[in-house]
Each structure stands twice: as structure tokens, then as C-alpha cells.
Amino acid sequence: SMADGLSSLRTSRINLVDLAGSERQKLTGAAGERLKEAGNINRSLSQLG
């Protein structure tokens, strides 16, 4: 508190996750490397969830 001449500092952190690859593969029309990348993103998101 400021009454005793001391102050305090509070910090925080927020993590943002890009969910661009989380949509259904059938709906995106992705193929080849892009489809493989989307699958890897989905697998990573499953680990986070």
C-alpha cells in the first residue's frame, strides 16, 4: 500500500493461440503439404486442450 511508502507492481502474461488450422479438413479443400500442415496443427491443438 502507499500508506507505508512502498508500492507494488503486478505483471501478467497472456498466451494467444492461432486456431487457423482447427477447421475441418473436408471444408477447407486443402491438399498435399497444406493438408499435412493442418493435420499437424490439429494434433498440436489436441495436446493443448
Task: State pLDDT tens for residues 8-47.
Answer: 889 999 988 766 655 666 777 778 888 888 888 888 878 8
Cell reading at 37: 500442415
> Given this model, what pLDDT does residue 13 score?
93
Cell reading at 16: 494467444
What are φ and ψ of residue 44, in 5° steps? Answer: -65, -40
pTM of this structure: 0.41
Closest CA to 45 of 16, 22, 23: 22
> Given this model, what pLDDT does residue 23 score?
63
> Given this model, what pLDDT does residue 43 score?
84
Give just the sign of the alpha carbon dihedral 25, 30, 35, 38.
Answer: negative
> Given this model, what pLDDT does residue 11 score?
94
